[in-house]
Chain A
């Protein structure tokens, strides 16, 4: 029998301080139900990001779990919340955790009971159960879909368009927004910009959904089935030709004529190639904190002439960019393809007083905080989950942030700078990169 490949433990890296967007249907309330260790981070998160008034937690004991009494506790909690919260929420989300997967909760019976006791409210269960990762529909997608499950069919349909799955809006001067305006399509509707429950319901009137992140695949499928709103997957990418092709696909779905994007393509490619030339072969690392499809990003950069040496992909098996990953494996054998949470990268990162393994700064450009930390990279381009990088503008912006990372005067250790501010290579030609691993 073939020996099963050992799956590795996941090592946690410090998370960079980023502002998180809270996805919240206006007029909804989330009750987190579970052990206190599970509910705590959500309550802290809500408090940090101004959502504290819309969440509460019911933390259950082992006795509650064993006796099965916790289902009654949910009903009692809803009763208490209905009295306390004014006005009463339109929607109650019941968020349950990993242990619920093992408890055999009759979800439908619970929801039926609540709906009959509180007919003016709506209820949905959200599962926050990473223990079920690797299933076809992962936890994040399931939870995300519930946010859109309360949209009712809106008539008449208008020329609005929903952006689904993103957590930040596109820049105001983004080329895709300009294109939509040119086509007479609008308004753009995003869940996190809905201020009222009525705004949220207007999403049901839109003519098309743009799927901006795979996490919302379930949501767009649901809206297609329930509301008749079709969708197009238009996720951040850095291949200029692919951006143009996708824009025209969207146009086709909207009944618009094909547009010639050759000038935009040429400009983006030229910018990228010039930036690659300026790096003069400096090794580049990308990771899944920078882009949700790091292999796709890496492939695009390789095609522009960047010397990509490392790709740190996610250990979650979503395979969003499987094709690009296969390309790298087959065509770029020198590229190290690994996961950012592998414990192999821990060596030298701990704070042991006897530690002599602290890594010297690696002469490379890290696109993403994780690989910057793991490699102790000399240059760091702060890109987070492709946010702010979309379309042709995204390619130009990425190149700008790469150039700034190399030539910025704020780089920590100027004495080790390989490049001076004019872009001249000051190195002695030594390459300390170990292509086999970190």
Chain B
């Protein structure tokens, strides 16, 4: 259904998600458009563009190309460019015009690969879907292409030794290995969140094998299946982590460290996940999938709604019961995993008021990490209705939400989301590890 957007900016689209995912790789991205979609991505969506220019090419489609199905011209030019620019990888993405005219982008990528000998990825993106769909497609494609996994139950060492044991139990004197999954500047900006998270994990005994998608290399991708566990940092990351779980039986935890206290709890979750009793040696299965995002989703786990999931019992139980008697209502509008983690951080802060905290997402929404009051929003109109009916005291979200008249009377904590407001606020994205959201919430109540 069409959506009228009066206050919010339309969100980053699927091809921007793909291009963002491939950006740090040695990759030439070709966007099948007339020119506007490329300018949209480089000038409005990609925070890294100014600092680190990468080969992003527009196929400059014209009416005659689309009408006559002149795919061969585009493939020829991409191959010619690939010869000159000489990157390891080529990605080709679709936009609305190729989608309407039925251009076979995947087929074009196959041809390009056949001619150039380089790994070429084609995505039939349309420009009608959101960026998270693009991130998921990119993640799965890169994993399929490059990730070399141990077979189920087998751990492969670098010297080729195979060992059958549960992850985390094998290498007593070695660091535990982890992947950071689903991290894109469209969610986290280019302000240092990737390096913060990596350093945080490394300082606490983890070896980061791969960050999908910031600072990514093909070598990292090849080694990503050697990790013991995945940390899904966004809802798109959860989808990709699910995929890794199915493919390589890798467990995951969904969450990000928002503030140091929350970070410590997240570390605890990760360690717990690795030492979970239900984890099987050999034949690792979906029972190893950890679905707790942190404190907030504990209730579901305890109720046994999620099979095999691990509950981390902390003050969360007490926090949850306070919801029934909440005297302050907070709405977090964000990527779901980031929103869950912001909620966790608020709860850990032990504010004096009883708080009801709901997370609403306009993007990928996973029920298994949602709480009762959480919502998947399909449009600006639904967000407006939620603000109107929910009678929230505080809203946490992208600054563009403040333009909604119903948000005028609430206290607002700005947490910029580049996929929503683009480069306008991408420089102000929070560095989550040091973001004590409780201080800002506390000042309002």
Contacts and interface: CB of A to CB of B under 8 A. Distances in A.
A45 B80 CA distance: 34
Contacts of A400: none
Between B39, B57, B77, B130, the greatest number of chain A beta carbons within 10 A of the residue's beta carbon is seen for: B57
Given A37-B14, A37-B15, A351-B54, 10 more contacts: A6-B77, A9-B58, A43-B10, A58-B3, A59-B2, A59-B3, A59-B5, A77-B2, A97-B36, A132-B62
Given A343-B85, A352-B26, A7 B60 contact: yes
Nearest to A10: B58
Given A12-B39, A35-B128, A101-B63, A43 B100 contact: no
A8 B77 contact: yes
Contacts of A45: 44
Contacts of B58: 9-10, 12
Interface in B195-212: none
Contacts of A44: 9, 44, 421-424
Interface in B385-401: 400
Contacts of A19: none
Contact of A37 (B4, B16, B422): B16
A43 to B, nearest CB: 4
B422 A58 contact: no
A40 B43 contact: no
Interface residues of B, number: 70
A40 B10 contact: yes
A36 B11 contact: yes
Contact of B73 (A7, A40, A132): A7
Interface of B: 1-6, 9-16, 26, 30, 33-40, 42-45, 49-63, 66-67, 73, 76-78, 80-81, 84-85, 87, 95-97, 99-101, 126-128, 130, 400, 403, 421-424
Given A10-B38, A35-B96, A47-B424, A346 B5 contact: no
A371 to B, nearest CB: 15
Contact of B424 (A6, A48, A60): A48
Given A35-B127, A37-B95, A129-B34, A343 B13 contact: no
Contacts of B55: 11, 343, 346, 350
B100 to A, nearest CB: 5
A41 to B, nearest CB: 4
B52 A351 contact: yes
Contacts of A315: 60
Contact of A9 (B81, B99, B101, B424): B81
Nearest to A56: B6
A14 to B, nearest CB: 5
16 contacts: A7-B77, A9-B59, A11-B55, A12-B39, A14-B49, A35-B128, A36-B10, A40-B44, A41-B422, A43-B5, A48-B424, A84-B6, A131-B97, A350-B85, A351-B51, A352-B26
Nearest to B1: A61
B100 A65 contact: yes
Contact of B53 (A65, A76, A351): A351
A-B pairs with lowest CB-CB distance, top 6: A37-B127, A37-B13, A351-B52, A131-B34, A36-B10, A130-B34
A44 B128 CA distance: 17
Contacts of A133: 34-35, 62
Given A7-B77, A15-B43, A58 B60 contact: no
A103 interface: yes
Between A37, A70, A315, the greatest number of chain B beta carbons within 10 A of the residue's beta carbon is seen for: A37
A129 B78 CA distance: 23
Contact of B2 (A60, A128, A343, A349): A60
A435 B70 CA distance: 35
Given A98-B34, A99-B100, A35 B3 contact: no
Contacts of A222: none
A129 B36 CA distance: 8
Nearest to B399: A47
Interface string A79-101: 01100100000000000011101
B1 to A, nearest CB: 6
A39 interface: yes
B133 to A, nearest CB: 12
A99 B97 contact: yes
